[in-house]
Structure 1
Amino acid sequence: MKNCEECGKPLIGRVDKKFCSDMCRNSFNNRLNSDAHNIVRNINNKLRKNRRILEELCPDDKSKTTKQILLSKGFDFNFITNVRPTLKGSIYHFVYNYGYLELDNDFYLIVRDKRLEK
């Protein structure tokens, strides 16, 4: 006989059952996703915040802003999801479906890649 993975009580019911109750299942998963995964949660929170800032500053497909505006809203340039070089050698930094390209004089071009939204 198998025991509950959270509390150890004997399991009654289905052969593939792992927990004796919803409370044990929730406790097990909450513990599993807590401290050991804080770094992942914190990074995801920073990526989501960066994306929200780019989305706010780019209501259409393209817009321009300054580095100061990005920083004042809490944008963190250390957190991106990918980079995309252009044929001319420039590099777009993307946070999910929003990208930015550094221009002259601390200006940035923000773009939205609709292809990633399908």
Structure 2
Amino acid sequence: MDRLCKECGVKLTGRADQKYCSDYCRNAYNNRINSDSKNLIRNTNNQLRKNYRILEKLNPDPTTKTSRNNLLSKGFDFNLITSLYTTKKGQTYFFVYDYGYLPLKDDLLAIVKKN
């Protein structure tokens, strides 16, 4: 029985465990198979980078206050964070890498940077 390339269907010659006729076909096959999950990961990472840049731009000082609406107007997605930090007093900071925010009263947020 002839062995065929998984991507293009060309007859394979050579090693018994060979699956592809070339590196191009191997890469094309794997890119096609993994494209759905990679789009989700790519989109999530892009939004995390955007969130990070927004927090970085709004926080030139060690701590800054801003409104929730200000972040939303710049495209910040509150559903995507990288970590949480809860203080001994029970306050929860939401972090995007080393920049974080603490929800305050009246839709205000305190933006901080980890040292």
TM-score normalised by L of structure 1:
0.73
Equivalenced residue count is: 113
Q: 1:30 — aligned with what?
A: 31
- Within 1, Cα distance between the matches of 2:42 and 2:110? 28
Q: How much identity, in percent, do the aligned residues show? A: 55
**Structure (1 or 2) with the larger CA radius of gyration:** 2
- Within 1, Cα distance between the matches of 2:6 and 2:106? 58
The one-letter code matched in structure 2 to 1:65 is T
Verify: 1:50 aligned to 2:51, yes or no. yes
Task: Decide whether aligned partners of structure 1 residues 11 and 86 sit closer, same or farther in structure 2, where only a CA change above 3 A counts.
Answer: farther
- The CA deviation at 1:68 is 1.8
- Within 2, Cα distance between the matches of 1:63 and 1:4? 58
Check whether the contact 1:11–1:19 (CA below 8 A) recurs between aligned residues.
no
TM-score normalised by L of structure 2:
0.75
CA RMSD of aligned residues (A): 2.7
SS in 1 for 2:89: coil
SS in 2 for 1:40: helix
Gaps of 5+ in 2: none
Matches within 5 A, 1:1-118: 4-9=5-10, 10=12, 12=14, 19-114=20-115
Which piece of structure 1 moves more, 47-56 or 68-77?
Answer: 47-56
Gaps of 5+ in 1: none
